Amino acid sequence: MSTETTDATDPAPTGIRRAIAGIVGVQVAIAAALLITDLAGSLPRIDPLTRQSPSGPSTRPYSPDRAPSTLPGERPVTGPMPERLEVSADGPTLTLTGQIAPGDGARIGDELRTRAGAGQTVATIRLDSPGGSVSDALEIGELIRGSGIDTEIAANAICLSACPYILAGGVERTVASSGRVGVHQHYFGESTILPAFIAVEDIQRGQAEVMAYLTRMGIGLGIMEHAMRTPPDQIYLLSQEELSEYDMVTAAQ
Protein backbone atom coordinates (compact mmCIF):
# COMPACT_ATOMS: atom_id res chain seq x y z
CA MET A 1 0.00 0.00 0.00
CA SER A 2 1.29 3.44 -0.89
CA THR A 3 2.39 5.63 1.98
CA GLU A 4 2.19 8.88 -0.12
CA THR A 5 -0.08 11.46 1.47
CA THR A 6 -1.69 14.59 0.07
CA ASP A 7 -2.13 17.80 2.07
CA ALA A 8 -5.89 18.19 2.42
CA THR A 9 -5.52 21.95 2.60
CA ASP A 10 -3.79 22.15 -0.80
CA PRO A 11 -6.37 23.62 -3.24
CA ALA A 12 -4.59 22.53 -6.40
CA PRO A 13 -2.71 19.40 -7.44
CA THR A 14 1.04 19.70 -8.00
CA GLY A 15 0.73 19.56 -11.81
CA ILE A 16 -1.65 22.52 -11.94
CA ARG A 17 0.58 24.56 -9.64
CA ARG A 18 3.55 23.88 -11.90
CA ALA A 19 1.59 24.88 -15.01
CA ILE A 20 0.47 28.13 -13.40
CA ALA A 21 4.03 28.86 -12.28
CA GLY A 22 5.24 28.24 -15.81
CA ILE A 23 2.69 30.61 -17.32
CA VAL A 24 3.57 33.32 -14.80
CA GLY A 25 7.24 32.84 -15.62
CA VAL A 26 6.60 33.30 -19.34
CA GLN A 27 4.55 36.43 -18.68
CA VAL A 28 7.34 37.88 -16.54
CA ALA A 29 9.88 37.13 -19.28
CA ILE A 30 7.70 38.81 -21.91
CA ALA A 31 7.20 41.85 -19.69
CA ALA A 32 10.94 42.09 -19.10
CA ALA A 33 11.66 41.85 -22.84
CA LEU A 34 9.16 44.61 -23.62
CA LEU A 35 10.64 46.81 -20.89
CA ILE A 36 14.16 46.31 -22.19
CA THR A 37 13.03 47.10 -25.75
CA ASP A 38 11.23 50.26 -24.65
CA LEU A 39 14.25 51.45 -22.67
CA ALA A 40 16.82 50.55 -25.32
CA GLY A 41 16.45 53.84 -27.13
CA SER A 42 17.43 55.79 -24.01
CA LEU A 43 20.44 53.67 -23.10
CA PRO A 44 23.97 54.42 -24.39
CA ARG A 45 24.95 52.21 -27.29
CA ILE A 46 28.23 51.15 -28.78
CA ASP A 47 28.56 52.59 -32.27
CA PRO A 48 27.80 49.58 -34.53
CA LEU A 49 30.20 50.94 -37.15
CA THR A 50 33.08 49.91 -34.89
CA ARG A 51 31.98 46.28 -35.00
CA GLN A 52 33.18 43.92 -37.68
CA SER A 53 30.40 42.90 -40.03
CA PRO A 54 29.48 39.22 -39.61
CA SER A 55 27.41 38.84 -42.74
CA GLY A 56 29.80 38.86 -45.66
CA PRO A 57 31.14 41.45 -48.10
CA SER A 58 27.77 43.01 -49.07
CA THR A 59 26.46 43.69 -45.56
CA ARG A 60 27.69 46.28 -43.06
CA PRO A 61 26.67 47.45 -39.60
CA TYR A 62 24.32 50.42 -39.92
CA SER A 63 23.80 53.60 -37.94
CA PRO A 64 21.20 56.12 -39.18
CA ASP A 65 23.50 59.13 -38.83
CA ARG A 66 26.74 57.76 -40.27
CA ALA A 67 28.18 56.21 -43.41
CA PRO A 68 29.20 52.54 -43.25
CA SER A 69 32.78 51.43 -43.76
CA THR A 70 33.48 49.70 -47.08
CA LEU A 71 35.26 46.89 -45.24
CA PRO A 72 36.28 46.73 -41.58
CA GLY A 73 39.19 49.12 -41.10
CA GLU A 74 39.19 50.33 -44.72
CA ARG A 75 37.49 53.70 -44.20
CA PRO A 76 37.31 55.76 -41.00
CA VAL A 77 33.89 56.39 -39.50
CA THR A 78 32.44 59.70 -40.65
CA GLY A 79 31.06 62.34 -38.34
CA PRO A 80 27.34 62.61 -37.76
CA MET A 81 25.34 63.73 -40.78
CA PRO A 82 22.77 66.57 -40.59
CA GLU A 83 19.61 65.60 -38.70
CA ARG A 84 17.42 66.68 -41.62
CA LEU A 85 17.98 67.13 -45.33
CA GLU A 86 20.07 70.18 -46.16
CA VAL A 87 19.67 71.71 -49.62
CA SER A 88 22.50 73.25 -51.63
CA ALA A 89 22.40 74.40 -55.25
CA ASP A 90 24.94 74.35 -58.06
CA GLY A 91 23.25 75.69 -61.16
CA PRO A 92 20.46 73.27 -62.18
CA THR A 93 21.63 70.66 -59.65
CA LEU A 94 20.35 70.43 -56.07
CA THR A 95 22.19 68.36 -53.49
CA LEU A 96 20.26 66.88 -50.58
CA THR A 97 22.53 65.95 -47.68
CA GLY A 98 21.67 64.38 -44.33
CA GLN A 99 19.02 62.30 -42.66
CA ILE A 100 15.45 62.31 -43.97
CA ALA A 101 13.40 63.78 -41.13
CA PRO A 102 9.61 63.81 -40.76
CA GLY A 103 8.34 66.84 -42.64
CA ASP A 104 11.19 66.86 -45.16
CA GLY A 105 8.80 65.75 -47.90
CA ALA A 106 6.71 68.90 -47.57
CA ARG A 107 9.82 71.06 -47.13
CA ILE A 108 11.54 69.76 -50.27
CA GLY A 109 8.25 70.12 -52.15
CA ASP A 110 8.11 73.79 -51.13
CA GLU A 111 11.73 74.22 -52.25
CA LEU A 112 11.01 72.79 -55.71
CA ARG A 113 7.85 74.87 -56.14
CA THR A 114 9.66 78.04 -55.07
CA ARG A 115 12.44 77.46 -57.57
CA ALA A 116 9.98 76.64 -60.33
CA GLY A 117 8.04 79.84 -59.58
CA ALA A 118 11.27 81.84 -59.81
CA GLY A 119 12.14 80.27 -63.14
CA GLN A 120 15.08 78.32 -61.67
CA THR A 121 15.38 74.98 -63.43
CA VAL A 122 16.17 71.91 -61.35
CA ALA A 123 17.42 69.19 -63.68
CA THR A 124 19.18 66.85 -61.24
CA ILE A 125 19.04 66.05 -57.54
CA ARG A 126 22.16 64.58 -55.97
CA LEU A 127 21.75 62.54 -52.82
CA ASP A 128 24.05 61.92 -49.86
CA SER A 129 21.87 60.47 -47.12
CA PRO A 130 21.88 57.61 -44.60
CA GLY A 131 18.08 57.44 -44.79
CA GLY A 132 15.33 58.22 -42.31
CA SER A 133 11.59 58.69 -42.71
CA VAL A 134 10.20 56.23 -45.27
CA SER A 135 6.99 58.18 -45.89
CA ASP A 136 8.91 61.40 -46.54
CA ALA A 137 11.31 59.59 -48.88
CA LEU A 138 8.36 58.26 -50.89
CA GLU A 139 6.83 61.74 -51.00
CA ILE A 140 10.06 63.28 -52.27
CA GLY A 141 10.46 60.53 -54.86
CA GLU A 142 6.95 61.18 -56.19
CA LEU A 143 7.70 64.91 -56.42
CA ILE A 144 10.91 64.26 -58.31
CA ARG A 145 9.26 61.95 -60.83
CA GLY A 146 6.32 64.32 -61.29
CA SER A 147 8.73 67.19 -61.92
CA GLY A 148 10.77 65.26 -64.50
CA ILE A 149 13.99 65.52 -62.48
CA ASP A 150 16.95 63.12 -62.65
CA THR A 151 18.67 61.68 -59.57
CA GLU A 152 22.33 60.97 -58.94
CA ILE A 153 24.65 59.47 -56.34
CA ALA A 154 28.01 61.17 -56.76
CA ALA A 155 31.46 59.70 -56.07
CA ASN A 156 31.88 58.61 -52.43
CA ALA A 157 28.30 59.60 -51.57
CA ILE A 158 25.85 57.28 -49.83
CA CYS A 159 22.15 56.55 -50.26
CA LEU A 160 20.97 54.11 -47.60
CA SER A 161 17.81 52.81 -45.96
CA ALA A 162 14.93 55.07 -47.12
CA CYS A 163 17.13 57.16 -49.43
CA PRO A 164 16.99 54.68 -52.36
CA TYR A 165 13.27 55.48 -52.66
CA ILE A 166 14.24 59.07 -53.48
CA LEU A 167 16.83 57.79 -55.95
CA ALA A 168 14.11 55.64 -57.56
CA GLY A 169 12.04 58.76 -58.27
CA GLY A 170 14.51 60.11 -60.81
CA VAL A 171 13.60 59.94 -64.48
CA GLU A 172 17.25 59.14 -65.21
CA ARG A 173 19.17 57.56 -62.34
CA THR A 174 22.96 57.34 -62.06
CA VAL A 175 25.25 56.03 -59.32
CA ALA A 176 29.01 56.63 -59.39
CA SER A 177 31.18 53.53 -59.09
CA SER A 178 32.33 54.67 -55.63
CA GLY A 179 28.83 55.69 -54.55
CA ARG A 180 26.97 53.34 -52.23
CA VAL A 181 23.30 52.39 -52.26
CA GLY A 182 22.03 50.20 -49.44
CA VAL A 183 18.76 48.65 -48.29
CA HIS A 184 17.43 46.87 -45.20
CA GLN A 185 14.27 46.23 -43.21
CA HIS A 186 12.40 49.30 -41.98
CA TYR A 187 10.60 50.14 -38.79
CA PHE A 188 7.02 51.09 -39.66
CA GLY A 189 6.08 52.90 -36.45
CA GLU A 190 6.58 51.87 -32.82
CA SER A 191 5.35 48.37 -32.08
CA THR A 192 6.62 47.61 -28.56
CA ILE A 193 3.38 48.70 -26.90
CA LEU A 194 1.01 47.39 -29.56
CA PRO A 195 -0.56 43.93 -29.83
CA ALA A 196 1.42 41.69 -32.15
CA PHE A 197 -1.32 41.48 -34.79
CA ILE A 198 -1.47 45.28 -35.03
CA ALA A 199 2.31 45.51 -35.40
CA VAL A 200 2.23 42.91 -38.19
CA GLU A 201 -0.56 44.81 -39.96
CA ASP A 202 1.50 48.02 -39.78
CA ILE A 203 4.52 46.28 -41.26
CA GLN A 204 2.51 44.66 -44.05
CA ARG A 205 0.80 47.94 -44.89
CA GLY A 206 4.12 49.77 -45.01
CA GLN A 207 5.76 47.12 -47.19
CA ALA A 208 2.78 47.13 -49.56
CA GLU A 209 3.05 50.91 -49.91
CA VAL A 210 6.77 50.66 -50.67
CA MET A 211 6.28 47.88 -53.24
CA ALA A 212 3.49 49.79 -54.98
CA TYR A 213 5.74 52.84 -55.16
CA LEU A 214 8.67 50.88 -56.61
CA THR A 215 6.35 49.37 -59.21
CA ARG A 216 5.16 52.83 -60.27
CA MET A 217 8.78 53.97 -60.55
CA GLY A 218 9.69 50.96 -62.72
CA ILE A 219 12.04 49.39 -60.16
CA GLY A 220 12.48 45.61 -60.04
CA LEU A 221 10.91 44.20 -56.89
CA GLY A 222 13.79 41.76 -56.49
CA ILE A 223 15.50 44.54 -54.57
CA MET A 224 13.02 43.91 -51.75
CA GLU A 225 14.46 40.45 -51.14
CA HIS A 226 17.77 42.00 -50.06
CA ALA A 227 15.92 44.55 -47.93
CA MET A 228 13.72 42.01 -46.18
CA ARG A 229 16.65 39.68 -45.46
CA THR A 230 18.75 42.42 -43.82
CA PRO A 231 17.88 43.48 -40.25
CA PRO A 232 17.49 47.17 -39.38
CA ASP A 233 20.90 47.39 -37.68
CA GLN A 234 22.64 46.16 -40.85
CA ILE A 235 22.70 47.54 -44.39
CA TYR A 236 22.99 45.56 -47.65
CA LEU A 237 25.12 47.45 -50.16
CA LEU A 238 23.97 46.81 -53.72
CA SER A 239 26.61 46.11 -56.35
CA GLN A 240 26.67 47.95 -59.66
CA GLU A 241 25.36 44.78 -61.29
CA GLU A 242 22.44 44.62 -58.87
CA LEU A 243 21.65 48.30 -59.36
CA SER A 244 21.38 47.63 -63.09
CA GLU A 245 19.44 44.37 -62.62
CA TYR A 246 16.75 46.09 -60.54
CA ASP A 247 16.70 49.21 -62.78
CA MET A 248 17.85 51.43 -59.93
CA VAL A 249 20.17 53.00 -62.48
CA THR A 250 19.38 53.90 -66.06
CA ALA A 251 22.96 54.63 -67.13
CA ALA A 252 26.24 52.94 -66.24
CA GLN A 253 28.97 55.00 -64.58
| Higher pLDDT among residues 231 and 198, named by residue | 231
Residue 89 lies in a domain: yes
Please state the pTM of the whole predicted model: 0.71
The CA-CA-CA angle for residues 111, 115, 119, to 5°, reads 170
Residue 42, domain member (yes or no): no
DSSP letters spanning 195-244: -HHHHHHHHHHHHHHHHHHHHHHT--TTHHHHHHHS-TTEEEEPPHHHHH
H or E, element range at 127: strand 124-128
Overall number of domains in the chain: 1
pLDDT at site 167: 99
pLDDT at 248 over 70: yes
Q: Is residue 12 part of a domain?
A: no
Decide if 70 is inside a domain: yes
Residue 17 lies in a domain: no
Q: At what angle do helices 134-146 and 104-117 cross, to 10 degrees?
A: 20
CATH number at residue 85: 3.90.226.10
Residue 94 lies in a domain: yes
Direct distance between the N- and C-terminal alpha carbons of the chain, in angstroms, rounded to an integer? 90
Q: Mean pLDDT, to the nearest integer, of 212-230?
A: 95
**pLDDT, tens digit, 9 for 90 and up, residues 86-116:** 999 999 999 999 999 999 999 999 999 999 9
* Residue 226 included in any domain: yes
Condensed to tens digits (0 to 9), the pLDDT of residues 75-89 reads 434 568 899 999 999
Give the residue numbers spanning the domain of 105.
Answer: 48-245
The pLDDT mean for the chain works out to 77
Q: What pLDDT score was predicted for residue 196?
A: 54
**pLDDT class for 205, splitting at 50, 70, 90?**
confident
Which pLDDT belongs to residue 204? 74
Q: Is residue 208 part of a domain?
A: yes
Is the model more confident about 62 or about 157? 157
CA distance 145 to 54: 37
